[in-house]
Structure 1
Amino acid sequence: MAWTLDNAVDRHKEAPYTFYTPSDEVLDRLQAGDLVKLIFMAEETLDNGCGAERMWVKIVERHASDFRGELVNHPVYLQSPQYGDMIRFNSVHICSTQLDDPRAKEMDYYFDYKVIVSNDVLEREQFNFMMKDEPNNEQDTGWMFFSGYEDDDYNADSTNFQVVSLGVVLNMDDSIIPYLDAAPRSAYERDLESGKFVFVEDYDWDAYDDE
């Protein structure tokens, strides 16, 4: 079965807050004997729906950003490559290592902390209103995000909302990072001319509580 290595750097660019790649500092430290994880992509999706496997490769030699290593996993779905095969790859293919990385801790924050979004936000991949209530638990940020196109009936149906990682909304718009530490209760609406979020001073929290 034919396969290729996925470009982890490109994946990170598409979803910088949910797809981790090692920092440059970690990549610079890699040497023979270290383990790195690569994404092996099948050229055709398998019958079971699997299209890729992440597997560990032990570095044998390195020349600048080019590597050669030994596959130390037995593929579960892919018929090739096989355990022990020698793999040539570049640093852009590395999606994880076993070295300590400060970036990994940052990514843990974006993964572990949760927000509530409307399904309409996920469908449009945009939000224009956000509000912060008191968190319900340690991983709850208290934030809720709306596209601004939901009506009252839509908002009254809890099935129209779901809990996702904070990184999901940051992938859509990370200009909200300065607002994340705002005190509950607060609400912000996007100014459509400037594209920036503006604090809503007269938000009706009493009406919100009655919903």
Structure 2
Amino acid sequence: MSWELDNANERNKMAPYTFYIPGSDVIDKLRLGDLVKLIFLGESETDGPAGEKMWVEITERYEERFKGVLTNEPYDLKGLKAGQEVTFKVEHICDTQYDDPSSSDWDYYFDMKVVVSRDVLDRREFNFMLRDAPNNDQDSGWSILSGYEEDEYLQDAANLQCISIGVILNMDDSILSIIDERPMCAFERNEDGVFWKIDDYDWDGYLNG
């Protein structure tokens, strides 16, 4: 077989705040004729490895094992075509046709943006957080730094990026308890690895500097 199914559960474990999988309540609803989305991996018809998310109609279910029929025509994967039978398990399902109340959490983590330094992304570490007034509905107001950046580094806009807050939570979700703090607050990580609020932060210097 020139293709295989990706494990959506494993993807979710690696990126729990940016990779959605349906909750157990949704999985329990699945019946014959329902559509589920799977991730197919294989070789591209044109150039190297490829992956495509496609819908499969369930034709058989045995608890957590399924059979189905591919309803999409693959864009570029070898050895696959619409109407082909597919055997899969719960861990392969990355979406369904059902509304999932929990999906709003992923929407928030994906849509809400933070400003981070490239150093945070390179190190996959952050030790300072500051929340200013948001500029729009998708701007959280948070700026997140590793704590190792020099002033000259931060003055270069190329060293700053706007990303989804879920990417930061994938690194360290201990900040869930503080991400809803009101604007004009600052936190830094102490020697025990815990974020503490900076009560005497120099806001005049920050706002007028």
TM-score by length of 1: 0.95
Match of residue 203 from structure 2? 205
For structure 1, the 5+ residue unaligned runs are: none
Match of residue 127 from structure 2? 128
> Is 2:77 the partner of 1:38?
no
- Alpha-carbon distance in 2 for matches of 1:115, 1:50: 32
Contact 1:67 1:89 in 2 (8 A): yes
Match of residue 3 from structure 2? 3
Contact 1:133 1:142 in 2 (8 A): yes
Distance 1:96 1:128, change over 3 A: same
Distance 1:146 1:46, change over 3 A: farther
- Alpha-carbon distance in 1 for matches of 2:33, 2:163: 37
- Alpha-carbon distance in 2 for matches of 1:80, 1:46: 9
* 1:79, distance to aligned residue in structure 2 (A): 2.1
Contact 1:50 1:77 in 2 (8 A): no
Amino acid at match of 1:11: R
Amino acid at match of 1:200: I
- Alpha-carbon distance in 2 for matches of 1:143, 1:48: 40
Amino acid at match of 1:203: Y
* Cα-to-partner distance string for 1:179-207 (whole Å, 9 max, x where unaligned): 01111101000002x11001111211222
Distance 1:46 1:185, change over 3 A: farther
Match of residue 140 from structure 2? 141
For structure 2, the 5+ residue unaligned runs are: none
* Cα-to-partner distance string for 1:45-91 (whole Å, 9 max, x where unaligned): 66546520110000001000000000000000102211100000000
* 1:107, distance to aligned residue in structure 2 (A): 0.6
Contact 2:44 2:78 in 1 (8 A): no
Residue correspondence of structure 1 range 20-59 to structure 2 within 5 A: 20-42=20-42, 44=43, 47-48=46-47, 51-59=50-58
Amino acid at match of 1:23: G
- Alpha-carbon distance in 1 for matches of 2:46, 2:205: 51
Amino acid at match of 1:133: D
TM-score by length of 2: 0.96
- Alpha-carbon distance in 2 for matches of 1:190, 1:48: 45
- Alpha-carbon distance in 2 for matches of 1:146, 1:45: 39
The count of corresponding residues between Structure 1 and Structure 2 is 209
Distance 1:112 1:189, change over 3 A: same
Runs of 4+ aligned residues of structure 1 deviating over 4 Å after TM superposition are 44-47
Residue correspondence of structure 1 range 178-189 to structure 2 within 5 A: 178-189=177-188
Contact 1:57 1:71 in 2 (8 A): yes
Amino acid at match of 1:208: Y
Query: Identity of paired residues, percent?
Result: 52
| 3-state SS, counterpart of residue 26 of structure 2 | helix
Amino acid at match of 1:92: E
Residue correspondence of structure 1 range 146-161 to structure 2 within 5 A: 146-161=145-160
Match of residue 87 from structure 1? 86
